[in-house]
């Protein structure tokens, strides 16, 4: 049996179930292996290029793939589609203030819109931005504005077998060293993510964010939070950190955010909607600049690329995401999938994170070199086996160094099974686990891929591959 440590606190209790029931359903389509062979070849062996009609269980991402509640759908009818001053904007602004605690809000079409505003507002060429591991779009906007990114996450985050409970933590020595080396003036802000997507959805502790706050305050460096998955992070703090067991997720979230100066948000994750995002800040000057810029890239400062109804659905979704029972079932479903895989000895990142299972593709295919794209290969094999769609998180996602032009070589070669919120059932998790098991049993006969088309930016989205002979 899996250890209590890896699976969280579900083992010693009776079964739990989702705190909702299904009101509308959407059909899924099964395909034959022949069909899938053609479909993945047409897609250049990149799961991003598949038609979703050819996918059975879609675990590509949990981004915007969420199921909204009846309350949110009702909210859609309350959309105030005014160009300026929409009612729904004020509702969203008030909700963010109450739930996350930030003073000022700039709405955007999704998370990267907020990253663009923050990066172009604060970063000057030659700056350095430290972060607890990179996120693809976040780092891209930092570098595009002339900054150098520095990974200051704890070493445990790069070790798939480490059972450290807060693998998202910032390594304070790494941060201090960077400040000593480049000087505080060259660091416009520290970028802290909670939970850390690229590390496998790993949380950062309250003690750690407080310590980062103390350190940066001495130098006057602000902290901007990637709050995309901060509600999931709050659940881990509640479960694992001393003194938080009796606090609600809502309380923990607000306390966590109070140690930061603002946040970028992809509404497509925690807030349980299909599109939207925002930038928030307590800094009046940053707000003024970002509110000015938003009209260039996104739309007026009271809609920022969202329809009024989208803002309403997000305001309602934020409150729903803070329900303790909901969040336990959300992460509980991920852990259930992990528990099945653990029983069968399948290698993946532990402890299980907030939003998905990250299969360790290096351990699947030790015979493949990193240049043969083991994570991409595993995503291809999974799709072939059962129509389950996963995503590469390895050397393809890491891209090339903008200075040397060389491949970045991340230690982690992961294939991500991401669980959309409120969409699939336990039976779907069983099917997925069996597909992974099948691929694991067949692992020795698998050959890798070569890249035959490489886009210039964020190449993982559109790159094309061919199987090695």
Q: Which of 8, 75, 111, 448 binds ligand PLP (CB under 6 A)?
A: 111
| CA distance linking residue 227 with residue 239, whole number of Å | 19
**How many of the other CB atoms lie within 10 Å of CB of 243?**
9
Active site includes 430? no
Cβ closest to ligand PLP, residue 268 vs residue 421: 268
Indicate if 460 belongs to the active site: yes
**Residues 6+ away with beta carbon under 8 Å from 246:** none
The Cα-based distances of 198 to 193, 207, 320, 341, 402 in angstroms read 10, 21, 25, 20, 20
CA distance 274 to 277: 10
Q: State the DSSP H helix or E strand holding residue 99, giving kind and residue range, or none if neither.
A: helix 87-99
- For ligand PLP, the closer of residues 65 and 381 by Cβ is 65
Contact track, ligand PLP, 174-213, x by CB under 6 A: -------------------x---x----------------
Q: Which of these, 4, 8, 2, 53, lies nearest to 353 by C-alpha position?
A: 8
| Site membership for ligand PLP, residue 63 (CB under 6 A) | yes
Span interacting with ligand PLP, options 23-31, 37-45, 109-117, 169-177, rule CB under 6 A: 109-117
135 binds ligand PLP (CB under 6 A): yes
The single residue among 66, 137, 376, 386 that binds ligand PLP, judged by CB under 6 A, is 137
Count of all residues that appear for the chain in the document: 469
Cβ proximity to ligand PLP: between 116 and 370 the closer is 116
36, 112, 167, 269: the catalytic one is 269
- The yes or no reply on residue 226 touching ligand PLP (CB under 6 A) is yes
Which single residue brings its beta carbon nearest to ligand PLP? 111
The answer to whether residue 83 is catalytic is yes
Q: Would residue 358 show up in a list of annotated catalytic residues for this protein?
A: no
Peptide bond into 351 cis (omega under 30): yes
Closest distance of CB 387 from ligand PLP, Å: 24
Q: Quick check: is 121 catalytic?
A: no
Does residue 277 interact with ligand PLP by CB under 6 A?
yes
Catalytic annotation, pick one of 54, 58, 62, 226: 226
Question: What is d(CA 147, CA 182) in angstroms, rounded to the nearest whole number?
Answer: 12
Binding residues for ligand PLP, rule: CB under 6 A, are 63, 110-112, 135, 137-138, 193, 197, 226, 228-229, 266, 268-269, 277
Catalytic residues: 83, 135-136, 226, 269, 393, 460
């Amino acid at each position: 049996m899996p250890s209590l440590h890896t699976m969280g606190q579900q083992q010693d209790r009776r079964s739990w179930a989702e705190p909702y029931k299904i009101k509308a359903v959407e059909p899924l389509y099964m395909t034959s292996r022949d069909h899938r062979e053609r479909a993945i070849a047409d897609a250049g062996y990149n799961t991003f290029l598949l038609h979703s009609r050819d996918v059975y269980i879609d675990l590509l991402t949990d981004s915007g793939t969420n199921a909204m509640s009846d309350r949110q759908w009702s909210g859609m009818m309350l959309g105030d589609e005014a160009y300026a001053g929409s009612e729904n904007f004020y509702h969203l602004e008030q909700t963010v203030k109450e739930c996350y605690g930030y003073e000022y809000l700039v709405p955007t079409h999704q998370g990267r819109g907020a990253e663009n505003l923050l990066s172009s507002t604060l970063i000057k060429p030659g700056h350095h931005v430290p972060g607890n591991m990179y996120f693809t779009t976040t780092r891209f906007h930092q570098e595009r504005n002339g900054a150098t990114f520095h990974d200051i996450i704890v070493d445990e985050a790069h070790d798939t077998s480490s059972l450290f409970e807060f693998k998202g933590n910032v390594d304070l020595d790494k941060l201090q060293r960077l400040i000593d080396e480049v000087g505080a003036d060259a660091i416009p802000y520290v970028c802290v993510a909670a939970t850390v997507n690229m590390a496998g959805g790993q949380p950062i502790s309250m003690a750690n964010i407080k310590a980062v706050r103390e350190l940066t305050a001495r130098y006057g460096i602000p902290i901007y939070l990637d709050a995309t998955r901060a509600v999931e992070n709050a659940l881990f703090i509640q479960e694992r950190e001393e003194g938080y067991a009796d606090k609600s997720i809502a309380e923990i979230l607000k306390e966590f955010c109070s140690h930061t100066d603002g946040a970028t948000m992809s509404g497509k994750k925690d807030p349980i909607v299909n599109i939207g995002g925002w930038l928030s800040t307590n800094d009046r000057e940053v707000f003024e600049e970002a509110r000015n810029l938003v009209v260039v890239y996104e739309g007026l400062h009271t809609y920022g690329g969202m329809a009024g109804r989208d803002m309403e659905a997000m305001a309602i979704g934020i409150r729903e995401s803070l329900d303790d029972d909901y969040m336990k079932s959300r992460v509980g479903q991920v852990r259930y999938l992990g528990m099945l895989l653990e029983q069968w000895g399948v290698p993946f990142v532990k402890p299980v994170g907030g939003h998905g299972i990250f299969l360790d593709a290096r351990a699947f295919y030790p015979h493949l070199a990193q240049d043969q794209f083991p994570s991409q290969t595993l995503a291809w094999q999974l799709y072939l086996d059962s129509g389950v769609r996963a995503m590469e998180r390895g050397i393809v996602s890491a891209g090339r160094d903008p200075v040397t032009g060389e491949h970045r070589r991340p230690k982690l070669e992961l294939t991500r099974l991401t669980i959309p919120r409120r969409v699939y059932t336990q039976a779907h998790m069983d099917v997925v686990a069996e597909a992974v098991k099948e691929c694991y049993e067949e692992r020795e006969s698998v050959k890798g891929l070569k890249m035959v088309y490489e886009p210039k930016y964020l190449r993982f989205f559109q790159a094309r591959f061919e199987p090695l002979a």
